[in-house]
Structure formats: structure tokens, C-alpha cells
Structure 1
Amino acid sequence: MPADICTEEEIHQMVHSFYARIREDEVLGPIFNDHIDDWPAHLVKLEDFWSSLLRRTGRFMGQPMPKHVALPHLTAEMFERWLALFADNLKDNPNQRMAAQANAMAGRIAQRLWLGYQMGNFPDREATPLP
């Protein structure tokens, strides 16, 4: 995947517009707002994450799985809602090549986080994938 799929500015816009929606969402907003103390720093980390994925910059340093596993009371429906909001955020993006790639990656990320969440919190149950 070439680095020319998108610009850093396009990643910035995607991250900021999406998480503005998340913060206002009636279901997901309280979860994110209760667990993120420094939104500006978190958004920079998310830009690094997406830059690493979409542009292969290698800027992201972190381990999202343990942070997500530690959150209480997550459900498959919450992950599905996150994905729906993500897709909706990108549906009118002028760079549909980036949007398609980001959506595909988001689906894989959500699937991994959901499976990891279940294995970390309910090790005695069989983990079920998102639909």
C-alpha cells in the first residue's frame, strides 16, 4: 500500500471529524469521555495510529489491546456502532481510496479488539466474532 493513498491532512481530518462524532454519540460518547483525560494528546496518538496504517509511517507506538480490554461492560453492539459511525464519517470523503482502505482496516481492528476483549474478560467463554 503506497504512502500516497492519502495525506497527513486527510488523516487529521478523518480522525478529528470521527472522534467529534464519537464524543457526541449517546452510547459511545460517555465511554470515551469517561476514559480519555487529554483529548488533544489522544487525537495525536490516533493520527499516528492511522498514519502508520494508511501511510506506513511507523509513527504509532502503543498497545491498544490492553487499554480496550480494561474497559468495563463493552458489547458487540458498541463495536458495531463504532464501525457504523466510522463508515458514515467517511462516506462523503473526497478521497474514496483512503476511505475504502480505512474502512477495511477499521473492520479488522474492531474484530480483533472485540475478540481480545472477550478473551481477556471472559476466558471461560468462547469468543464470538462481530457479525
Structure 2
Amino acid sequence: MATLPPRFDVTRDEIARVVAGFYARIRAHPGLGPVFAAHVGDWPAHEARIVDFWANAILHERVYDGNPVAVHRAAGDVRPGMFDTWLALFDRVLAEELRADQAAAWSALAHRIGRSLRAGVVERMQGPGGVPILR
């Protein structure tokens, strides 16, 4: 069976570096840090799992088998407005750690995934009459 080429030029080591930088910022963030800390007990294991997620999404490694939408829904304290902050932090790390072409390609993918995750959270969070709660 032929393997698919990567979506763009990035290595697993670069993925790991971006993930580590991103979660260092998450842990320090006054709004997102406490939310993540409430759910992540083992940061190295979590980061390794997220490296696998991105290796799956970018390199087609088939090493991640989770369901991010279900995880974010089940957390109970993830709000749609958090995704803009998440993506802004992620974009900063991409710009610092990668070449511009790599950062742009990965950012585009992250924003598509972020929109899907946000939509999954919004679908769950509804007010009277089914109106989505956006904050």
C-alpha cells in the first residue's frame, strides 16, 4: 500500500518542538492555563498524544486514534471564545519555530480544525430556543 505524502514539509521533530512551545504558553496563559490544568494530569503524555495527532494530520502516520470533538465536549468547561486565543497562541509559536511557508501551511490546517472543534462545542452549548451560546 502506498503511503500519502505529507500535507506540507515538516518533520516529526518540528511537530514536537511546536507542540512543546505551544503547551508552555498554554500553561502560562491566565485564561487557558487553568482550563487545561484541570484536565491534563500528565503533561508529557498529553504532549506526546498531541504530537501523534499532528503527525497523523500532517504526515499521515496513522498513530492517533482519539476524538478531539468528544474530548472537548466532555470537558464541560471549554467555551467557543477560547478557540480564538488558542489559535493566536498557536500561530505565534508556529511563526517562531518554523519557516514562514511551514507556519502558513500548518496555521491554515489548525484554523480549519479549530473551526470544526468550535462548531462541535457550539452545537452542544445552546440557550433557549436552540440559540448557540458563543461565549
TM-score by length of 2: 0.84
Structure 1 residue 118, shift from structure 2 partner: 1.6
SS in 1 for 2:130: coil
Residue 75 in structure 1 maps to residue 79 in structure 2? yes
Aligned length: 129
The residue aligned with 2:40 is: 36
Structure 1 residue 128, shift from structure 2 partner: 8.1
RMSD after superposition: 2.1
- Distance (whole Å) between structure 2 residues aligned to residue 114 and residue 37 of structure 1: 23
Please identify the structure whose Cα radius of gyration is greater. 2
Give the aligned residue type for 1:10: E
The residue aligned with 1:49 is: 53
Q: Which of 100, 105, 120 lines up with 2:104 in the alignment?
A: 100
Contact 1:51 1:59 in 2 (8 A): yes
**Percent identity of equivalent pairs:** 34
Q: Which of 1, 5, 27 lines up with 1:2 in the alignment?
A: 5
Name the stretch that deviates more: 78-87 or 53-62. 53-62
| Structure 2 spans left out of the alignment, 5+ residues | none
Give the aligned residue type for 1:119: E
Contact 1:54 1:101 in 2 (8 A): no
- Distance (whole Å) between structure 1 residues aligned to residue 5 and residue 102 of structure 2: 11
